[in-house]
Each structure stands twice: as C-alpha cells, then as structure tokens.
Chain A
Amino acid sequence: MSENIFDVSNVTLRFGGVVSLNDVTLEMRRGEILAVIGPNGAGKTSLFNSLTGVYEPQEGTITFTSRDGTVMSVIGQKAHRVASAGVARTFQASRMFSALTAFENVKIGAESHRGIGVLGAMLHGPRTRRGERESDALTIELMDFVGLRDKANTISASLSYGDRRRLEIARGLATNPQVLLLDEPAAGTNPSEKLELTELIRKVRDERGVSILLIEHDMKLVMALAERLYVLNFGSVIAQGTPEEIRANDAVIEAYLGAAPTTEGK
C-alpha cells in the first residue's frame, strides 16, 4: 500500500494562453491534513478541479491510490468516477441542492454509490427498502456528526453559511470517501463558527480516518489545522513544509503573507 493518496507530478493546466497551473508537483500522504495556500488567482481551485476530474490538465500525471491499493489516473477521468473512487469535495461558493432539505442533500450523497435499479425503485422491492433504511441510518449518523441533526428538515437554501459548510462536509462524507477536499471552508463564517469548523475538520480526520486537503485564506485556521502546507503563486509551487517552515520562508512572506512577519494573521 502506498503512503501517498495523491501523487501529482509536473501538472500543467492551460486555458488558451493563460497558464493556470505551471509544472506543479506535490504529494499528499494518507491520513494527513494538508493545506494549499496562496494569493487569489494562484491556481488553488484549478488544482482542486484537476484533482477531482473537473478540469483536464494538458501535461503531467495525477494518480489517486485507494486504500485497497488500486491506482487510478485522475486526468481524463470523469468527475463522478473520481468521486466514486473516494474523493469527496466541497465548493468555494457552497453548492447544495438548494430546494431539497438538509437531510435529502446528505442522503443523495449516501446513496450515490448504490446501483441504480429503476425497476426495483418502481416496484419498491425489499432490496430497495433495505437500501433506503441503510442510507437513512448513515444520513442520520452524519447529520449528528456535523451537528445538524435538529436542522434535518430545513430547506438547505435557508441554512446559514456555517451550516451550509457543515452540510457540504456531511454530504461529502456520505459518499464514504478516503480524502475530503475542502475549498475555503471558512469563507463567510463568523469567528465562533470558524472555531467549530476547525474542530469538525480535525474530527473528520481523527474519527473517520479521512485525509483532508484544504484550501484556505484564513491563516489562523490553516496554521491551527494543517500538518503540511504547499504555497502556490502564479500557478507554481513556491514553497512547502510545516507551518513553522512556511512562516519563516522568505519567498512566501514576499508573495503572500506580507512583508511584516507576524506569527498570526495575514
């Protein structure tokens, strides 16, 4: 079994003449909380979309190694295949199924890996009913896990920002992933929600054994959570290392953290 869950080597992604990712090489170890930081337009979300099969980089390789040892080449793979293989994600501007309840949102995640069975659904046979029960149970467990149980019947569009983030995490976890990609989970949340979110993310890794890849602007949250960091600027990796190493890195300070090196804040 490979140590690494993601191996990204020499990935270049272009949109016409614009280079979004330039020769990016990184690795993600199983079970770690890894963060990718960088200024706006540095290519963080492009990296996410490449890792989940939404974008197709022109050069380089991305491999995802499953817990059971199967290796999948992500480039050229359809997004839903990557998701079924065990890569869950959230979105920068949270994307939920807004007209459905919180419960239904998570349940869609929970049952997506099941077979289709139109006939079974129309006849409502015992297998369908058992599947429903199992999905219901998993959904309730996850609603509990993220602390949204009492809002299960709320329409997801009327949830607060913080609750939407949790809901997205629960929906991602429902697909039984090995790695969860979080795209700016703290955006639009208030300080107390941020604190809860930090705890929730750590809990996801510790209790459910899901590796976490995090994109975040909030340095406080990143430094508190991440075990390793990669710093992107103009589509290239300019630094990597532990939070302490990154804080002391001159290139990072110049590009991103700002000239005055403080221990926390931007």
Chain B
Amino acid sequence: MRAFLRHPAVRRFVILAIAMAVLEVMTGPPGSTDAPTEGIAHSFTQPSSFFGLFGTLRWVVFLFLALVLWGVASLWAWRGASIKSTLSSVTAVPRQVSQRKVTRRGFGVALFIVALFLPHIVTDPFWHAAMVEQIAIYVLLAMGLNVVVGFAGLLDLGYVAFYAIGAYTTAWVTGALPTPPLFHHALNAFYAIPAAIVIVMLAGVLLGAPTLRLRGDYLAIVTLGFGELILIFANNLYGITGGSQGTGSIPHPSIHLGPIRYQWGLDPVPYYYLTIVFVALFIIGFTLLEHSRVGRAWTAIREDEVAAESVGINPLKYKVMAFAIGASTAGFAGAITGSQLIHIFPTSFSLLFSINILVLVIFGGMGSISGVVLGAVLVQTVSMFLLHSPPSGYQSADLYIYLGALLVVMMIFRPVGVLPSRRRKREIGLAEAGEGHMDEVLTGDTP
C-alpha cells in the first residue's frame, strides 16, 4: 500500500485531487453563522453543469478536472524526463542545474497557490484593494520594465507613458473619452486588453525605432521626454483625453463565453485573481524568453554590441523588440487599472511613477524575473503598510525619502539586487574587476 502511494503518478493524483477539493470548497456556496459547515457540505452536493453540456454534481466536475490535470502533469513529467536525458548526454550540463530548475518551479507553484488564497487570509478591504492596485499591477509593470532595463540593458525613464497609453486606450475603446470609440461602438473592457496591448506595442516601436540607435544616457533622456510628453498630452488635450478632469467612467469587464459568465465589479478581489493569473502567465513567458535565443541575443548586445553585430545580430531590431514587449506589459497593466479604477487622471502618470517602477527593478535585481517580482512585492507591501498604519510623524510624501535611501544603501552593499540573475551578477563582478565591455557600451565608447 505504501509503495503504491509512493509511486509518482499516484502521488501526483492525490496532490491534484486535494488541490481540486480545496478549489471546490473555495468556489462553493458560502456557509452561515448558524451552520458553519453547510458551505463545505453544499459545495460537494450541489449540482453544477458540466461545461454547460449536461447537469451533474459539483464534485464530479472537479474530479474530472483533477483527472485532466493529472494527465497533463504525467505527460509533462514523462516528456521532461526524456528531454533531460537526451540533453545531459549531449551537453554534459551538470545535473545540478536542472535540479535547481525543478526546485524553482515547485517554489513558484507553491507561491502561486499562496497568492490564490491570500484574499481569504487577509480580509481587510484596504489590503484587498492594495493587492490589486498597488502590488499585483506593480509586479506586472516591474516585470515589463525588467525586459527593457534588465534583459536588453536600455535605461527607460519614461515607462509610465506606456502605462498611460494603455489606460487611455482602454478608456477610448470602451467609450469613456470625449473622442468617440472606433466606429462609434463602445466595446466590453475585456476587448480593450488586446487593443491596449497592440496600440502600446505600436507606440513602443514608434518611439524605439528612431531613438534606440542612441546609447546609454541619451536614450534615458529621450524616454524621459517621451514620458513627460504623454503626460502633457493627457493633461491638455481636453477634446481627446478629457484633460485634467480625467476620463468618463470606464465599464468593468465581463465574460460571456458559453457557460462561463462573469461580471467584474467594484470588489477588487476578482480583479486580483484576473491580474495574478496574468502575472503567472507573464512570468512563464518571460522566463522562456530569457532562456531562448532572443534572451541570449539581448545578453550579447548588452555585453558587447560590436561583437554581437559581428555574429549577425541586428542590435536595433532586438532593442525595439525589448521595448515593444516591455511596453505591451505596461499596456496590459494600464488596461486592467483603467477598468478597475473606473476613472483615470493624468496626475497618476507622473515621472515619479516611472522612477518608482525602476526602483522596484533595481531593488529586486535587474534581469532576474524572480528578483523583480519579489522586489515589487516587498517594496510595495512595505509602502502600503506605511500608508495604512503610519508610524507617528510619517507622512505619505516621506515614502520617497526612504525609497531613495534604500536605493543608495543597495547600490553600496548589494548592487546586484536582492535576488540577482546569475548572468547579471557575473557581469557586474566582471565590470568591477575591469573586465568586459559593459562601460564601453553604455558610454558609447566603441569603435
């Protein structure tokens, strides 16, 4: 019996079944004070529709889900094992590396599950709102900026512009701006997400293509200007953006997709789930990107642009690509923020915002996805905590004094960030030892 339970396939199934049972209880009907266990009991016995096809009990649906997931997981494990064995025989990569990868993946999944439960553990409405508006969205933004600053090594001080464009695009397509939407047909805020991503990506390419030939400081100044430009547009183009009065009301998104019907509302928790699902997807996507040829090309350009060109890498193309990917992440965050906050105002898209995001990236560790996520969560949680229950004498404007001090201390004692990426750590170590071409590339001092 014990041996049977220890079999990996069986163990996987048990874990998934437990996870599904928990999910079932979580999504089931609520209990009441006189009958606290009723919610749990009902969550199993209540009928539910099987993808809208035929009626059945809820637990059958979840059992089915567990089976499907088990199948996927088993397939994955089987494939992973076969890939690992072929790879290690050719590349002679130490097994330790892949072991670490597996551990990391497990850690990530565990954290994701914790994040799923978080709204039920922390029930303060202030924190519910903060988890979406100030933490999850900032994690997204920091991850997007990390692609630009950390992966491609381009200093972008106007990142907020893309966030603003995303939010205003959402307002535009949902009919919340003085300018009528395309074809005078206001869309569901859900469709605003792809629209915002596409338009912001376009803005990224339009800004990037002519300016990314610049290096280091020059690029930082141009992006700084772009950020201010967008802010001024938002503030002064009354006829288009609504000016400093802000936008009209942006509707909440809703899903009507076959059996799935859901309407997001004023409650931040559903938005929280929406956002963290996308955070998880972005983490997976960006991790794969980092370890793909695109990520390696970015590293090559960052380290030595001349050498990168000599092997046929087009630096401009890859830089524009990094800009567009970073921008589209901000656009996505802007779309979520727009529909969640209902009204958006130009004042929220100040330079300070860009710098705040940059602080999260530097604090967490440039170029390290896990570091940036951790940095964003840590810094934002602390700043929200200070806002919620300020120590005596603390005012909300003081936050930037502490953020600045934090950055100075970090730069002196741990310039690589809290959880640095291995590549970046090596680069900074080499630059301090006077090796490598990092400084040359940044100052444009290449032949």
Taking Cβ atoms with an 8 Å cutoff, the residues of A that contact B are 49, 52, 54, 78-81, 83-84, 88-89, 91, 95-100, 103-104, 107-109, 111-114, 116-118, 121-124, 128, 131-132, 135-137, 140, 152-153, 155, 157, 171-172, 174-175
Residues of B within 8 A of A98 (CB): 303-304, 426-427, 430, 435-437
B309:A80 contact, CB within 8 angstroms: yes
Residues of A within 8 A of B304 (CB): 95-98
Instruction: Indicate which residue in A83, A122, A124, A140 contacts B309 across the interface (CB closer than 8 Å).
Output: A83
- 30 A-B interface contacts by CB (under 8 A): A54-B309, A78-B314, A79-B309, A80-B313, A91-B307, A96-B304, A98-B426, A98-B427, A98-B436, A98-B437, A99-B299, A100-B299, A107-B293, A111-B293, A112-B311, A112-B312, A114-B293, A116-B318, A116-B321, A118-B289, A118-B294, A121-B292, A121-B293, A121-B295, A122-B285, A152-B92, A153-B93, A157-B430, A157-B435, A175-B312
For A53, give the chain B residue with the smallest CB separation: B309
Instruction: Indicate which residue in A121, A132, A137, A174 contacts B289 across the interface (CB closer than 8 Å).
Output: A121
Q: Is the interface of B mostly helix, strand, loop or mixed?
A: helix
Which B residues from 291 to 311 make CB contacts under 8 A with A? 292-297, 299-300, 303-304, 306-311
Question: What's the A-B contact tally at a CB cutoff of 8 Å?
Answer: 137
In the complex with contacts A97-B303, A111-B293, A172-B437 CB distance below 8 A:
no
Q: Is the interface of A mostly helix, strand, loop or mixed?
A: helix
B307:A140 contact, CB within 8 angstroms: no
The answer to the question of B90 belonging to the interface, with a C-beta cut-off of 8 Å to chain A, is yes
Instruction: Indicate which residue in A80, A96, A140, A153 contacts B314 across the interface (CB closer than 8 Å).
Output: A80
For B285, give the chain A residue with the smallest CB separation: A122
Residues of A within 8 A of B430 (CB): 98-99, 157
In the complex with contacts A49-B447, A111-B293, A116-B317, A136-B311 CB distance below 8 A:
no
A140:B90 contact, CB within 8 angstroms: yes
In the complex with contacts A54-B447, A155-B426, A109-B309 CB distance below 8 A:
no
Given the complex of chains A and B, what is the CA–CA distance between A137 and B300 in angstroms?
A: 20
Q: How far is the CB of B121 from chain A (nearest CB, A)?
A: 32
A111:B307 contact, CB within 8 angstroms: no
The answer to the question of B33 belonging to the interface, with a C-beta cut-off of 8 Å to chain A, is no
Given the complex of chains A and B, what is the CA–CA distance between A113 and B310 in angstroms?
A: 12
A136:B90 contact, CB within 8 angstroms: yes
Given the complex of chains A and B, what is the CA–CA distance between A79 and B288 in angstroms?
A: 29
The answer to the question of B94 belonging to the interface, with a C-beta cut-off of 8 Å to chain A, is yes
Q: How far is the CB of B420 from chain A (nearest CB, A)?
A: 12
Residues of A within 8 A of B373 (CB): none
Given the complex of chains A and B, what is the CA–CA distance between A117 and B292 in angstroms?
A: 10
The answer to the question of B325 belonging to the interface, with a C-beta cut-off of 8 Å to chain A, is yes
A136:B303 contact, CB within 8 angstroms: no
Which B residues from 182 to 207 make CB contacts under 8 A with A? none
Residues of B within 8 A of A155 (CB): 426
Q: How far is the CB of B81 from chain A (nearest CB, A)?
A: 16
Q: How far is the CB of A170 from chain B (nearest CB, A)?
A: 11
Residues of A within 8 A of B303 (CB): 97-100
B307:A124 contact, CB within 8 angstroms: no
Q: How far is the CB of B358 from chain A (nearest CB, A)?
A: 22
Given the complex of chains A and B, what is the CA–CA distance between A83 and B437 in angstroms?
A: 20
Q: How far is the CB of A83 from chain B (nearest CB, A)?
A: 4
Residues of A within 8 A of B286 (CB): 122
B289:A103 contact, CB within 8 angstroms: no
Classify chain B: how many residues form its interface, as a range: 35 or more
Given the complex of chains A and B, what is the CA–CA distance between A155 and B436 in angstroms?
A: 12
Additional pairs, 6, CB under 8 Å, beyond known A80-B315, A95-B310, A123-B285: A95-B307, A98-B437, A99-B424, A109-B312, A118-B325, A122-B286
Taking Cβ atoms with an 8 Å cutoff, the residues of B that contact A are 87, 90-94, 285-286, 288-289, 292-297, 299-300, 303-304, 306-315, 317-318, 321, 325, 423-424, 426-427, 430, 435-437, 447
Residues of A within 8 A of B437 (CB): 95, 98
Q: How far is the CB of A76 from chain B (nearest CB, A)?
A: 15
Given the complex of chains A and B, what is the CA–CA distance between A52 and B306 in angstroms?
A: 11
A124:B310 contact, CB within 8 angstroms: no
B307:A100 contact, CB within 8 angstroms: no
B447:A136 contact, CB within 8 angstroms: no
Q: How far is the CB of A217 from chain B (nearest CB, A)?
A: 19
Instruction: Indicate which residue in B87, B311, B321 contacts A108 across the interface (CB closer than 8 Å).
Output: B311
Instruction: Indicate which residue in A79, A116, A117, A135 contacts B310 across the interface (CB closer than 8 Å).
Output: A79
Given the complex of chains A and B, what is the CA–CA distance between A43 and B318 in angstroms?
A: 32
Top 9 A-B residue pairs of the complex, sorted by shortest distance between their CB atoms: A121-B292, A99-B426, A83-B312, A122-B285, A84-B312, A95-B307, A79-B309, A111-B293, A98-B436
For B293, give the chain A residue with the smallest CB separation: A111
A131:B307 contact, CB within 8 angstroms: no
Given the complex of chains A and B, what is the CA–CA distance between A91 and B426 in angstroms?
A: 22
A112:B90 contact, CB within 8 angstroms: no
Given the complex of chains A and B, what is the CA–CA distance between A152 and B94 in angstroms?
A: 11
Instruction: Kindly name the residue among A79, A104, A131 whose own CB sees the greatest number of chain B CB atoms within 10 A.
Output: A79
In the complex with contacts A108-B300, A136-B90, A140-B90, A116-B294 CB distance below 8 A:
yes
Given the complex of chains A and B, what is the CA–CA distance between A80 and B312 in angstroms?
A: 4
B90:A104 contact, CB within 8 angstroms: no
Given the complex of chains A and B, what is the CA–CA distance between A121 and B87 in angstroms?
A: 18
Given the complex of chains A and B, what is the CA–CA distance between A137 and B90 in angstroms?
A: 8
Residues of B within 8 A of A91 (CB): 306-307, 310
Instruction: Indicate which residue in A99, A132, A172 contacts B423 across the interface (CB closer than 8 Å).
Output: A99
Given the complex of chains A and B, what is the CA–CA distance between A84 and B308 in angstroms?
A: 12
Residues of A within 8 A of B313 (CB): 80, 108, 112
Residues of A within 8 A of B294 (CB): 116-118, 121
B292:A128 contact, CB within 8 angstroms: yes
Instruction: Indicate which residue in A109, A122, A132 contacts B311 across the interface (CB closer than 8 Å).
Output: A109
Given the complex of chains A and B, what is the CA–CA distance between A108 and B296 in angstroms?
A: 6
Q: How far is the CB of B86 from chain A (nearest CB, A)?
A: 9
Residues of A within 8 A of B317 (CB): 116
In the complex with contacts A122-B285, A128-B292, A155-B426, A88-B91 CB distance below 8 A:
no
Residues of A within 8 A of B423 (CB): 99-100
B289:A99 contact, CB within 8 angstroms: no
